[in-house]
Structure 1
């Protein structure tokens, strides 16, 4: 998939809590670390760390060394997890290459009077972590405002995210980079203003992603699968469920679905992709059945339904103009075939 959704993990997420912290905080730290480590195995997201993450953690005495983790585990009776496993995960995350700065070709920023709303900078009182977070937030805000975003967007993972969108204001004196798409930034006393998407758990990360943009911009079926999976996940949450990401059942993607779906999206603009995703959700969940009709071999109501062996061709109304064609397979699964205009009754086999 072209231009993967991406995240930068703030070093503060990996900062080992003080041994005197509350027991719940100690357990939450380990749970959070293990949860984010699962992203390492996901093919659809690119993960980055600041090149100064390790340096900041060491400077503040918060690097998750085995001795510190063992002391934390012993103090709070943590036996459910293995110290070596947690230390290995922390090191694995901190060793991710390339760094955020290298990948996005932004080296450093000289700024002052940084304000974020809500104030996430002061969620940590440690100088090294605070400085690195301020630098990363400023750089991400500049990239988000002036540069092409990764498909689905870029999120900053924090230990605590009070709000999904953080407003950023700062005096920027100098930006060191090697990009050709960043314009001249406002000079002090004029303020730079931007925003950053942040999250502190997996559900928050998925909520930050734009499934419609992913559907339209996907360069392969992995991207289509991801867009549909996100839409189904968000729908389940909206219905009050607690979905398991790995358990989300996504329909098969037909060989020409991406091409034909994106063709319609390109012709019609931003209003159509959300409708397509809604109709796919309805198809998977068996909702809005009056919108479903047998796709027949001819124009007559008595003409036989198109078949592919034992699979039945179906036509679901997206709206008056557009329709979702899919195969209702004999094994009970669904294969998405095409998105078509009203007068098109074809379906790829």
Structure 2
């Protein structure tokens, strides 16, 4: 599973009661926060937040209260677009996410000597938020250390943008919920974490092959192919908002399993490319009508108004699919001489 980590500073509201806060500060906060609204609908990743976030926001008056928000929205003219409840509901949704600590299985960590490649970018933050960012980076690094087989990790924060964050530090102790997974300290941390400025940046960085290989449910395979199609559309200048409809047939994943297309990375890469070509209707010479018999004059196989098609995966394997009024239905992966297709 891909992990997306929210830094507490992402939610830190620049209160109008603070005389040093400008309208530009509020607009930057609002624009950055609202750009992550779509995270609420993501089902291909765990979205995690540090457990200290609610207390920090309240302690430093950085929770967006109704009256203060109303004033700020009016001053910027954004009250014609957003209402205070829109912002408060979004922040509250984030505050109710699963915590990083719960995901790892710890209560807290003791760390020191943290240095990162983005120290200059975040140096203007209040000391508490800077400490909390370092703590989040240590937690991410700890999670990667404890569970190296997990998928990718991404950081969401402010003032860093798209960056490969280099992290160095020491973890001196961990308070595990159950039995400790580390027997000796200090644990020296040397690693890299990807920070992204938008959800699109995260999607473009994810490896769909690895995601497919580590999927354990139909939904996981659907998400992996969705991301592969999304990436192809972006890389070829197409708008992923206009992604064609597509679906898996009820036997598709099982036929993939039978022929080794769930675990072999080379096969997975080829299959995802073939499925994406099918969905986007490119490389049409690789497609052939799936006919009722072996003769070229035999009619194309149909299921009501749906038409059966065959596309090369490679020399040995082929993808069979239905062209329907609701988009392409990926039906099965078969060997070369298998002309069947699940109805």
CA distance in 1, matches of 2:22, 2:327: 48
Match of 1:334 in 2: 328
Count of residue correspondences: 339
Are the equivalent residues in 1 in contact too, given 2:160–2:195 (CA < 8 A)? yes
CA distance in 2, matches of 1:50, 1:102: 9
* Alignment TM-score, normalising by the size of structure 1: 0.85
CA distance in 1, matches of 2:34, 2:278: 34
CA distance in 1, matches of 2:304, 2:338: 22
Matched, 1:305 2:300: yes
Show structure 2 runs of 5+ residues with no match. Answer: none
Task: Give SS of 1:271's match.
Answer: helix
CA distance in 2, matches of 1:132, 1:289: 53
Pair 1:176–1:341, CA change in 2 (3 A): farther
Match of 1:230 in 2: 227
1:273-320 CA-to-partner distances (Å, cap 9, x unmatched) read 222121122112221111111223444444443332332221111222
1:120-146 CA-to-partner distances (Å, cap 9, x unmatched) read 872552111111111111111121233
Matched, 1:283 2:254: no
Match of 2:309 in 1: 314
Pair 1:236–1:105, CA change in 2 (3 A): same
* Alignment TM-score, normalising by the size of structure 2: 0.86
Match of 1:344 in 2: 338
CA distance in 1, matches of 2:12, 2:3: 21
Pair 1:138–1:239, CA change in 2 (3 A): same
Match of 1:109 in 2: 109
Q: Provide the alpha-carbon RMSD of the alignment.
A: 2.8
Instruction: Give the C-alpha shift of residue 255 in structure 1.
Output: 0.1
Task: Give SS of 2:116's match.
Answer: strand
Instruction: Give the C-alpha shift of residue 234 in structure 1.
Output: 1.2
Are the equivalent residues in 2 in contact too, given 1:60–1:129 (CA < 8 A)? no
Match of 1:260 in 2: 255
Match of 2:57 in 1: 57
Instruction: Give the C-alpha shift of residue 14 in structure 1.
Output: 0.8
CA distance in 1, matches of 2:286, 2:28: 46
Match of 1:94 in 2: 95
Instruction: Give the C-alpha shift of residue 148 in structure 1.
Output: 5.4
CA distance in 2, matches of 1:268, 1:76: 53
Pair 1:267–1:21, CA change in 2 (3 A): closer
Deviates more, 1:295-304 or 1:85-94: 295-304
Show structure 1 runs of 5+ residues with no match. Answer: none
